[in-house]
Amino acid sequence: MEDLAEEMGGKYHRNPLTLLSRVITVHPLGGASMGTDIATGVIDEWGEVFNHPGLYVADGAALPGPVGANPSLTIAAFADRLAEHAVDAGPVLETQP
């Protein structure tokens, strides 16, 4: 892009966000991230909330941070995987005292 700008008589300016060495997104992510247990996260690898059987998080809150400029497909794939798992797991039956 630098060469192209020079050929066209322009001046190349690097995107300042690239200086951060990490992906930036404007989409709200995180807040209920995955972990191996309740001490390291809110949900397990299937999106189920620890200590709350049958309660799932199937949106960007499950992602620990940016996975790309637009995380829509990653969120959709995660939600699809979660839905298949939840259907396979069947209904959660709780007994009332």
Its domain, for residue 50, covers 26-89
Report the domain count for the chain. Answer: 1
Question: Distance between CA 60 and CA 31 in Å, rounded?
Answer: 9
Instruction: For residue 94, tell me if it sits in a domain.
Output: no
Q: List pLDDT tens digits, range 24-74.
A: 777 788 889 899 999 999 999 999 999 999 899 999 999 877 777 788 899
Instruction: For residue 7, tell me if it sits in a domain.
Output: no
Catalytically annotated residues: 27
For residue 63, what pLDDT is reported? 86
Question: Distance between CA 81 and CA 16 in Å, rounded?
Answer: 36
For residue 76, what pLDDT is reported? 94
Instruction: For residue 13, tell me if it sits in a domain.
Output: no
Instruction: For residue 11, tell me if it sits in a domain.
Output: no
Instruction: For residue 96, tell me if it sits in a domain.
Output: no
- Joined together, the tokens standing for residue 43 give 């949900």
Residue 78 has pLDDT above 90, yes or no: yes
For residue 38, what pLDDT is reported? 95
- Joined together, the tokens standing for residue 36 give 């191996």
Residue 94 has pLDDT above 70, yes or no: no
Instruction: For residue 30, tell me if it sits in a domain.
Output: yes
